[in-house]
Structure 1
């Protein structure tokens, strides 16, 4: 099915003005002294600093819908999901590069708004859009790669650093993005009840507080991940990689009043959003010390022998919901 752009994007298309003029429009929308040459030249990090790199794609119809999302919001989302991965290593984001595949009938207004959204969000981190690539294609695909710096000699916050006796900590909301998605599916963007606008915004424009990963690493955290595929799914990955179990405190992750009201309104158990919803990009880690600034304790790490029970429990019981996002869900063959 061909990409259809909302009527708010007017003016010439990328096919009408050509690749080079479109690139110039991107540069104007997200200016950077590093962007515009054959490749970006980044400054050498300080001594004893390592480089961290990650990449993610957003595919129209799978990760965003044009009848729900403005172009700038897609740009914001692309940056946040990448920078959350950088922060989850305890590193500081410094730059992104953008690879964009777009049909020829894509309005230039859409491209420039997308670039502006990326530029706005990277500026929140004192980073910038350092380059990229533009190509034609049948579908709209936004691919962002992020670069970060990991300072000092302390280890990165990897998935295998959790130890029994540590606290599980989190910075950010849990379940808001999934609730917003449920509301969008029910009402579309324009008819969502006003009292739930915050939930819809959490899905369309997820936000993280810049610097939380660096703070957690400096404060002694030993492992970290972000809630991208679902709370249980992401913490299960961390627990299995570390060879431990995690028990979450129900009172610490319970749906708040807004999630509860949305669940009642839609007839959906809000615990589903908390336990299985992703794309909040909440940072979740483990520490033997007090919760770092901006974090709260949501559970504890314990010993767990493989095959003796679920890697993640809630109040010592298997979670009521445990599925999460999977780009290639397994299909059970018919008998």
Structure 2
């Protein structure tokens, strides 16, 4: 028997697993790439390219988000964004999301509704669908997403291809999410534009395929900090990367917030994570696409430097070391 539509004050315990699944999947229009959506043992997603880009990321309450800082809808958008940014960083466009969700039994179904709405809102920006997943009991909110993407006939852009002489360019914001975290950590909720950057990143999804078409030799998204993530390109490509501070964009809003908090805005730009901007290496500075900013160069050697010198202090976030 199909579960009856629930009342607004239900908890997931009262709703039950299958009632909750019905609640969050009914009435959702899937994109054309979803050949079979939720309701069976597995989804079927079209792969016109013949290859599928796949990535997964997990968000845990208290580590990646706090419900006293973010609304459930913002959490859902963030969960989708951090995964789809990884797809874009391969030069692909997201096509589908599979969602693993865990929560305590007393969790309100309205909270789940809002979280799922956020997932769909972000997925719709790329024309992707939420095609399936799983729901379980957990001590706190946990969201694990597997994102699938399509390369459109292009070769994937990996971390392994940067060459000496390439330029390093970035598309998207840097330092905003770190500034927002600093503001929230001090108990403030404004300026809203900075705080919202921590709540919901704004990855430039279309810039990934754009960079691939322009001949990018290596690319990734900035999830843990510009210097830390560029270290992955340097290590994988067996090259050195040098960032020039005079080429970095430090927005006046970040300068104002840093002044109020006694912080260094350049540190946020260099080491702050969770903005999910894209950073890539290009062989010809004249071929860097519109919307990208050149910020450094690839050289012989190893590691990442700033203005030719090692950076003092942590270069970004790393789990279990903080």
The partner residue of 2:9 within 1, 8, 11 is 11
Separation in structure 2 between the aligned mates of residue 86 and residue 192 of structure 1, nearest angstrom: 31
Deviations 1:78-124 (A, max 9, x none): 11110111111111110001000111000000111111110111011
Following superposition, the deviation at residue 328 of structure 1 comes to 1.5
Q: By how many angstroms is 1:294 displaced?
A: 2.0
Partner of 1:96, secondary structure, is strand
In the TM superposition, 1:99-110 aligns within 5 A as: 99-110=100-111
Structure 2 counterpart of 1:225? 220
Quote the offset at 1:29 in angstroms: 6.8
Post-superposition offset of 1:37: 2.1
Q: Name the TM-score, length of structure 2 as normaliser.
A: 0.92
**1:1-335 counterparts in 2 under 5 A?**
11-28=9-26, 30-32=28-30, 34-46=37-49, 49-152=50-153, 154-187=154-187, 191-193=188-190, 196-289=191-284, 290-304=287-301, 306=302, 311-329=303-321
Aligned residue number for residue 5 of structure 1? none
* Contact residue 30 and residue 118 of structure 1 kept, 8 A: no
Distance 1:120 1:254 in 2: 29
Residues 44/316 of structure 1: CA separation in 2 closer, same or farther (3 Å cut): closer
In 2, Cα distance between equivalents of 1:299 and 1:269? 20
Using the TM superposition, give the Cα deviation of residue 220 of structure 1 relative to its aligned residue in structure 2, in angstroms: 0.6
Paired residue secondary structure (2:45): coil
Q: Secondary structure at the match of 1:81?
A: helix
Unaligned 5+ residue runs, structure 1? Answer: 1-9, 331-335
SS of 1:182 mapped into structure 2: helix
Q: Which whole-Å CA distance do the structure 1 matches of 2:177 and 2:28 have between them?
A: 27
Tell me, yes or no, if the aligned pair for 2:211 and 2:289 is still in contact at 8 Å.
Answer: yes
Q: In the TM superposition, what is the alpha-carbon distance from 1:30 to its structure 2 partner?
A: 4.4
The DSSP-based 3-state class of the residue aligned with 2:217 is: strand
SS of structure 1 residue aligned to 2:186: helix
Match of 1:6 in 2: none
Cα distance between partner residues in 1 of 2:59 and 2:299:
36
Per-residue deviation at 1:256?
Answer: 2.2
Which stretch of the first structure deviates more once superposed, 19-28 or 114-123?
19-28
Structure 2 CA distance, aligned partners of 1:98 and 1:29? 17
**How far, CA to CA, are the matches of 1:96 and 1:88 in structure 2?**
16
Distance 1:260 1:319 in 2: 20
Deviation readout 1:115-134 (Å, 9 max, x if unpaired): 11101110110111000001
Preserved contact between residue 175 and residue 278 of structure 1 (Cα < 8 Å): yes
SS at 2:99 equivalent: strand
Question: Distance between the aligned counterparts of 2:27 and 2:197, measured in 1?
Answer: 24
Deviation string for 1:251-290 (max 9, x for gaps)? 1225221111111001111122112110010000001132
Decide whether the 8 Å contact of 1:275 with 1:322 is kept in 2: no
Displacement, 1:292?
Answer: 1.6
CA contact (8 A) 1:216 1:293 kept: no
Q: Is the 8 A contact 2:157 2:219 kept in 1?
A: yes
| Root-mean-square deviation over aligned CA pairs | 1.5
Q: CA separation of 1:29/1:200 partners in 2, compared to 1, >3 Å: closer, same or farther?
A: farther
Q: How many residues align?
A: 308
